[in-house]
Structures are given as C-alpha cells and as structure tokens.
Chains A and B, each alone.
Chain A
Amino acid sequence: MFRRRLTAMVCSVAALGLLATGCGGTDNGGSAAEKKTGEVTFWSFVKGSDKVAEAFNRTHPDIKVNFETVPSGQEYYSKLSNAVKAGTVPDVAVVEYPQLPEFATQGKLESLDGTLGPLVDKRFPQSTRKLVQLGGKTWGVPRDAAPLMLYYRNDFFKTHKIDVPKTWAEYRNMTERVKKADPKARGGVLYTDNPGLLSALTWQAGSQWFSTKKDAWKVSLDDAPSRKVADFWGDLARKDLVSSLSSLDPFWTSVQQNRTVAYVCASWCAGAQQATVADQKGKWAVAPVPTWDGKPASAMYGGSSFVVPKGAKNSGAAAEFIKWITTDPVGMKAWVSSGTSSMFPADPELVPVTKSAFPTDYFGGQDVYAVGSKSYDAVVPGWTWGPVMGTTNTAIIDQLPKVAEGNVKLSDVLTGAQKATVKDIQHRGMTLAP
C-alpha cells in the first residue's frame, strides 16, 4: 500500500536525518575558493554579455571568463552589494552610471587607478569620464553612452502634416497636434516607474543634481533648470498631452497599439524598438532631441560601465577583460553580434564598429548612429550622479504617478527628493556643501 511505503520511506529518511545531524550538524563542504589563476567571474545582465565572454575566451587562451547572467534592476544591485559584504564577489560586474557613485562611496569597488585609469583618461570624452571618475579616482570603465534622441512615427507625422519639433516649445505644440489628430495617440511619455529620463532632461537643460566641492557633496535637485523641466513635463502629463506609463509592458504595448507615436529616449531604444515592435518596420524615424534654445544640447539616459568589486580575487585578469570589452574593436563587435543592439560605444572611436553591425532598414535606411554621434557630442558636460541614488530615485518614483493624477506638482517631487537625499547623505556621514 502506498501509505505503508510512504511511512517506511519517511521513517528511514527520518533515521538518516537523525544520523546526519547526530554526526555534527550541517555540512560545511562546498566551494572553498579553489581559484585557478586566469579565471574571471563576470556578472552582467546586458544583452550580448554571453557572446562577449565567449569571444574573449576564444581569443585569450590564458584567461577564462565565466559569465553568470543576473537579473537587471534594483535586485541585482542589492545582490552585488551583499556579495561584497560576504566576500563572494565576481571579478567583473556591470554597474550602470547612476549606481556607480553609491557603490564607490560604500567602499564596494576597487579603484582602477593603477590599471585602467590611464585608459579611461585617454579614450573617453570628459562628460563620460565624469560619470566613472569621482573623488580623483577611477572606479569603472564606460562601455556605452546613451545620448538622447527623439523617436517618432514618420508615417503618422506625414499623414497629419506634423513637423518634427526642434525646441521644447515646438514639442509641446506637436503633442497637442498629435492628440487632435488621433484622440488615442500621444506624442510622448512621462514614465511613472523610472526617473532616468526625467533626470536626463534636467541634465540637458543645464541642471546639475550633484556636484562635488572640495570634500563635500552639493545636492541641487530642484535648481532652476530642473524646475523649468519639471514644470514643463508636469504640465504635459497633467493635461494628458503625454501619457503616464510604466516603462515596461504598458509602454511597449502603447507603442505596438499606435498609442505612442513619438517619445524621447536614448540611443539604445533604437534596438529595443526594433526588437520589441518588429512589425512597425519602416514607420519610425529618429531626430535630435528638442532643446530649449534650439542649439544642440543633449544628455544621457542609461548607459553602463564595468567595475571590479572590492574583494575580487583576480583583478589583474579582470582589468584585461574589461579593457577588451570596452575599448577593443573586436570586443566591441562581439557586443552587437546579434545584430539587434543599437548600443552606442562610449569610446567615440568605436562607433563605426557598432554602426556597421546595426541594420538600418527598420528606420527606413536612416543613419541612426549619425544622429547619435551628434547627440553624444552635445552632451552637456559636468553632470555627475549622486552617492545615494537608491534613496533619490525612490523618493522620485514614489511620487511620479501622482503627477498625472494632478495631486502633486513635478517640481515639488524634486524638492521632496532633495530633502530625502540630503538626509541620507548626512546619515551616512558624508559632508554636505552649504
């Protein structure tokens, strides 16, 4: 009988358990760091990471990279953070620019001054260097830049005779015309779950949320340019001229269903757009992001760098690997070998490499990378991310959906985030500039 057999089985299992525990508790066998020289563990969620690791291993017989895929988002950063605490870090890890200062100020990264510092000095433009060099040290190596662009439905704009906006005033005009032409369609999005685009737009307007003065952080989330941008977008959202959506499924559904016919995004959106909404091929085009005064100005939304976490066991080989995947043409090519990534290299010399791998037919043959290059050149220098971005971002995200509901002003959201940020910086013992 089933019952009897179960009982017998369970009892023997119980006896086994008793035996095992009687003999001295839980086992402590397992991996005791038997690391061979030349092995590099590599954590990343970035598309193409597996291909890059493979390509590196093929061309570098002396080093073996073990790629481990990780989820993206806040969960990943807490995982990495805990790994540092526990001493179980990988040798190389991806960290997006906004998160980098927080890791650095918590002592969770190895300084790269002695290894890759000179390379960073040599290969990257100043505005990008500023994202990975903080407090006089180099903490990471940039992989991609994420300059802003305007994406729009060429067919929709043509049919309804809407001009592509060059300034933000024209952009507002455009959103009104889009809504008039099709009551369901909108000419933009204010993401409700992601403050990255909002910060990029304030960056473009000349704001500097964070800066360092000698030995102190200066926080100005609600400076004048920031407020200007917040008032502009808050108004668009409240008047329902742009939609308020989460940046994931709801956003892409709205694109697929022709409800979003224009939006501001970074260069990487070209690839994402093409992969996610494949059947709208030929209908989309890109343009420079609108500016306040009509003169070129841009900023970055996203982008990632590679770091060596504190406690990495093979930082020498790790540096070698990072160098190859960020500044070597062959390495760069491996990132985009799948053909659907519009990754824009942070190293301007490598743009031709990724450009040649990106098919342009989705955008009707348009030179997406040329638009990207111009935008990259126009990135307003001086921006740096802050040391408590988790707190800053959460403070913004928690209020963002209320802006469209009309309950909260977007500029007040930034003021609230300012307060939360200052409080957290003080709590962690860092100095604040007056």
Chain B
Amino acid sequence: MTKTTTLSAPAPTAAAPDRKSRSRPTGRSPRSPRKRSSALLSKTGVTAMLGLAALYTLLPMLWLVLSSTKSRKDLFATNGFAPGKDFALFDNLSHLFQVDNGIYLRWLANTVLYAGVGALLATVFSVAAGYAFDKLAFPGKEKLFSFVLLGVMVPGTAMAIPLYLIAAKAGLVNTFWGVFVPGLVFPFGVYLARVFSAAYVPNEVLEAARMDGAGEFKAFCRIAFPMLAPAFVTIFLFQFTQIWNSFFLPLVMLSDKHLYPVNLGLYVWYSSALSQGHPQDYLLAVVGSLVSVAPLIVLFLMLQRYWKSGMTAGAVK
C-alpha cells in the first residue's frame, strides 16, 4: 500500500505532473530566496537566459499586437515588426465589436460556454471516473481502463466525420449540443485523474472516513475531491485549451454563425477575406485573435494563483 504518500517525498512510481506542496509543515512556504552561488548561475545570467526564452515566445506575438494596430494599408505595406503609419487599434476594435451586429461578442460567449462549461463538466466526470479507477474495487477494472486509454490514442480530427454522421442521426447537427457534448469527454483526463488520485489521496484518510461510517460517495465528495483540487485545475486547463482550439468538429457540425465558437468565426473571416475580395475581414481576423487571447490570459492568471496556494495542506491534517 502506498501509505508513504502523505508526508514524505513523492513516490517516484506515481506520475503526477504538478505534485504540489503536500509537505508544507517544515518550510519552503512562499519560496523564500535562497542563496546559492555558482559561477554560471548569477542573477543576471539566469534572468538573461529566461529573457532570451521570453524573446523567443513573445517576438512572434509582437506581430499580432502590431498588426492589430495597423490600418489595412499598413498591414501589407509595412514591416510586420514595425508600427504602421496610422495607429488604428481603436478603429479596428470598434469595428470588431460592431460588425454584423456584434457577432464577435456572441462568438466569444459561445466559446466560453463550449470551453468553459464543457471543460468544467468534463473535468468533473474525469475526476470522478479516475478516482473510482484508483480507489474503488470493482470487477473488470483494468480492462475498462485500457478501453479508456484507447480513447486517448484515437486521432481526434479523424473522428470528426463519424461523430458528425452520428450526430446527424440524433438531430444534433447545427445545434449547440453538437459541439458541446463531445467536449464533455476527455479520456486523457481520466488517466490523469487516476494518477493524481493515487498520489494525492492517501488511502488511510479514506479508511478513516469509512470507519467513521461515511458513505463512499460522501467520502469522494467531502474528502477526496478537495484533495484533488490541483488535479482538477490541471485537467480543466488541458481540456479547456483543447476545446478552445478545436476546429474541425465545429466546422462540420455548425452552419449557423450564431452558434460558432470564436475560432471558427475568425476562420470564416480569414478564409474569404483575400480569396473573395473583402480584405477588411482579414484585419478583423487579426484583431479578433488578439482579443480572444485575453480570456485565456485571465484564466491562466487566475489559476496560477490557485496553483500556488497550498490546497491540500488543511485536508491532510
């Protein structure tokens, strides 16, 4: 039995991505700067290396930011890494939010529903299933689990068409549910949740709860679930970005633009802009992308704070 997982170092056999501050008692609270000296690892050295990496990730983004501030003429006429002659960001933004009766906001709202609510539910289902696989005894467990793993291996884009044909039979094509329901399933999340559950939820805590007469379901909700909060966040983020970036499924599933997620809407603008002679849509796609990055940044910042707090410390005591 893995009873070592409570207070000692993480057992290396269990793979947990962001195994966190479980062992808080003795120190390393908010990481206080520790003095370590090395010829290479000076403060400037480390910062310079990170700065270089940040340059690599941010420089291409600069194109997006600068392009969003340009007029249509400057977009093609000026260097992508130089500002345009006119500063048109506000014009572009107001155009973005007004065009087609504000359809862009609608797309954003749809995306929040598809990705936000979808990933939330998907995470709940995954954590519940993963926990059951880890902690509960039932027949055929491993067979069932390898079945789940099979779901991880199937290329998602290739499944879009059979899924579409099935959805058509169920009458879900061109409805909200056609895109939302597939987002609720995240086999990899079940796998992660099982791994997390093994690492985070000590068996003796459950045993204690059972001794106290708590039902299994109650033990899961009241005791295990709070301990799995970091797992929850990780799985949620995985699935959220997956739905946020999904393209083929909404493309085949939806034809009513009021149901589009932002990704597909931007693609519709982009794909016809230059080939069909309305280049203003090209700029819309660029500005629209910049704006659509914002919610993800906010989400990340929010969850970053969440990561940092010692979630499980209280529950273990």
Contact = CB atoms under 8 A, between A and B. Distances in A.
A and B touch in the complex (CB under 8 A): yes
Interface string A278-319: 110000000000000000000000000000000000000000
A64 B208 CA distance: 67
Contact of B73 (A30, A32, A83, A279): A279
B173 interface: yes
Nearest to A258: B77
A43 interface: yes
A72 interface: yes
Contact of A257 (B76, B124, B257, B279): B76
Contacts of B61: none
Contacts of B257: 68-69
A341 B175 contact: no
A73 B73 CA distance: 25
Size class of the contact patch on chain B: 35 or more
A30 B253 CA distance: 14
Nearest to A249: B274
A11 B225 contact: yes
A29 interface: yes
A41 to B, nearest CB: 8
A124 to B, nearest CB: 22
Contacts of A14: 124-125, 128, 221
Interface stretch (B49-57, B146-154, B160-168, B191-199): B160-168
A184 interface: no
Contacts of B76: 249, 252-253, 255-257, 276-277
Interface string B159-181: 00100110111111111010001
Interface in B71-129: 72-73, 76-77, 120-121, 124-125, 128
B241 interface: no
B248 to A, nearest CB: 8
A224 interface: no
A81 to B, nearest CB: 10
B311 interface: yes
Interface in A106-123: none
12 contacts: A13-B120, A14-B124, A27-B177, A28-B170, A30-B170, A70-B255, A79-B255, A85-B165, A87-B168, A275-B279, A276-B76, A276-B274
Interface of B: 72-73, 76-77, 120-121, 124-125, 128, 161, 164-165, 167-175, 177, 181, 221, 225-226, 229, 232, 251-252, 255-257, 264, 267-268, 271-272, 274-280, 282, 306, 311
Interface of A: 2-4, 6-7, 10-11, 13-14, 17, 26-33, 43, 45-47, 68-73, 75, 78-79, 82-83, 85-88, 90, 247-249, 252-253, 255-257, 268, 271-272, 275-279, 340-341
